[in-house]
């Protein structure tokens, strides 16, 4: 038959129970598998709660997961990416919902994906309260699927981080990324797999693991670390995703400020050099496609930079100068 396998869908969904419940606290109401997830938030200690929401996907990093038949890491990637997107506003995550679309739901694959969701949610103190699994024959290639996720968090309005306190003289702190995170995979695949004809199970000089293992490194969740610093001491935060340092820093900069980034101030991981050299990619493009080893940026006053840098395990990679709201790279 060419239609949707309803029995298979139901079988897959029955396997969700234990893992999803492991992310639940007393705020989660109702049963798993309902038409909507129920969450009764505890806003004690927050004077003016503001809900913060974001939705995202994993992009073509999924192609690496398909090829290696390793799927738990992309589940964790999705959760952590979404959490970081609201963490830049000072928010902590409350709950997460997922979408998995496939030609056919393969139980072992779905189990790995769900395991990644649940593990990342537990680590973040975030409830996985619902989602959607869709079988759509003819929409996806055999053995492939797509992922999307929605995160909802909360921040006290007085503690929101919106970049309005950024001023010339501030210091830009860079927090280390764990590989490519979830961006730049179309270019990476073109250079590494198509042009260089490398195998994903191949050990490449300069890398500490196989190429596939390097490309499936999990997107880091910075929110727990950022939460250790009083929000009043952080003038701005930028999650360095698609667009790199070039396009993401301007999203938080005032119109009269530029971020001047010294690209010589940190060691760029070897995977990026491999892509740039063999793909003959200009440096400016590299810093606009990839994170280049910096996954999160915090902008703080000069007097607090050393103390906060130590707390966040980051380092100064630039300064804020008079300008027009742009990123200026120094090579």
Domain 6-159 has CATH 3.30.1330.10: yes
In angstroms, the Cα distances linking 286 to 8, 134, 169, 277 are: 43, 36, 27, 11
> For residue range 181-211, what is the model confidence (pLDDT) as tens digits?
999 999 999 999 999 999 999 999 999 999 9
> For residue range 54-109, what is the model confidence (pLDDT) as tens digits?
999 999 999 999 999 999 999 999 999 999 999 999 999 999 999 999 998 888 99
**pLDDT category, 1, cuts 50, 70, 90?**
very low
> What is the C-alpha separation between 295 and 239, in angstroms, rounded?
6
Q: Is the pLDDT of residue 257 over 80?
A: yes
**pLDDT category, 10, cuts 50, 70, 90?**
low
Nearest Cα to Cα of residue 278 among 212, 190, 207, 147: 190
Average pLDDT on 33-55 reads 92
In this structure, the dihedral spanned by the alpha carbons of residues 298, 88, 323 and 291, taken in order and rounded to 10 degrees, is 70
> What residues does each domain of the chain span?
6-159, 171-330
> What is the C-alpha separation between 243 and 184, in angstroms, rounded?
9
Query: DSSP 3-state assignment of 35?
Result: coil
> What is the C-alpha separation between 216 and 73, in angstroms, rounded?
7
In angstroms, the Cα distances linking 62 to 145, 193, 230, 301 are: 8, 14, 36, 39
Query: DSSP 3-state assignment of 326?
Result: coil
DSSP string, 188-223: HHIIIIIIS---TT-B-TT-SSBHHHHHTPPPP--H
DSSP string, 46-113: -SSEEEEEEEEE-TTHHHHHHHHT--HHHHHHHHHHHHHHHHTTT-EEEEEEEEEEESS--HHHHHHH
Residue 283's CB: how many other CB atoms inside 10 A?
12
> For residue range 109-149, what is the model confidence (pLDDT) as tens digits?
999 999 999 999 999 999 999 889 899 988 999 989 999 99
The alpha carbon dihedral of 190, 192, 198, 202 has a sign of negative
Q: Is the pLDDT of residue 32 over 80?
A: no
What mean pLDDT is reported for the chain?
Answer: 94
The pLDDT, as a whole number, for residue 13 is 59
Domain 171-330 has CATH 3.90.650.10: yes
**pLDDT category, 34, cuts 50, 70, 90?**
confident
> What is the C-alpha separation between 80 and 76, in angstroms, rounded?
6
pTM value > 0.85: yes
Sheet with 127-135, strands from edge to edge, namely: 49-57, 145-156, 92-102, 127-135
> For residue range 269-316, what is the model confidence (pLDDT) as tens digits?
999 999 999 999 999 999 999 999 999 999 999 999 999 999 999 999
Considering only 3-12, 39-48, 271-280, 320-329, which range has the smallest mean pLDDT?
A: 3-12
Average pLDDT on 26-44 reads 87
DSSP symbol at 19? H
**E strand or H helix at 136, and its extent?**
none
Query: Could you tell me how many residues make up the chain?
Result: 331
């Amino acid at each position: 038959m060419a239609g949707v396998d309803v029995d298979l869908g139901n079988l897959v969904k029955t396997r969700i129970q234990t893992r999803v419940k492991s992310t639940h606290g007393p705020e989660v109401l109702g049963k798993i598998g309902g038409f909507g997830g129920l969450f009764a938030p505890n806003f004690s200690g927050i004077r003016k709660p503001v809900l913060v929401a974001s939705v995202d996907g994993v992009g073509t990093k999924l192609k690496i997961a398909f090829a290696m038949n390793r799927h738990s890491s992309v589940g964790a990637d999705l959760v952590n990416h979404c959490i970081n997107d609201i963490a830049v506003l000072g928010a902590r995550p409350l709950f997460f919902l997922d979408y998995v679309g496939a030609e056919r739901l393969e139980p072992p694959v779905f189990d790995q994906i769900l395991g990644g969701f649940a593990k990342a949610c537990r680590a973040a103190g975030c409830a996985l309260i619902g989602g959607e699994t869709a079988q759509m024959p003819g929409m996806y290639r055999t053995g492939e699927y797509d992922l999307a996720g929605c995160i909802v968090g909360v921040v006290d309005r007085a503690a929101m981080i919106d970049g309005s306190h950024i001023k010339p003289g501030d210091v830009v702190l860079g927090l280390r990324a764990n590989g490519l995170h979830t961006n730049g995979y179309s270019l990476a695949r073109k250079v590494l797999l198509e042009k260089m004809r490398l195998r994903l199970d191949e050990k490449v000089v300069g890398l500490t693991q196989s190429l596939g293992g390097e490309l499936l490194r999990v997107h880091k969740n910075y929110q727990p670390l950022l939460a250790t610093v009083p929000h009043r001491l952080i003038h701005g935060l930028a999650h360095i995703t698609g667009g790199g340092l070039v396009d993401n820093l301007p999203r938080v900069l005032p119109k009269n400020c530029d971020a001047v980034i010294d690209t010589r101030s940190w060691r760029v991981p070897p995977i990026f050099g491999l892509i740039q050299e063999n793909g003959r990619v200009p440096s400016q493009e590299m810093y606009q496609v990839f994170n280049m080893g910096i996954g999160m940026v915090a902008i703080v006053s000069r007097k607090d930079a050393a103390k906060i840098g130590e707390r966040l395990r980051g380092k100064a990679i630039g300064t804020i100068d008079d300008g027009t709201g742009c990123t200026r790279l120094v090579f």
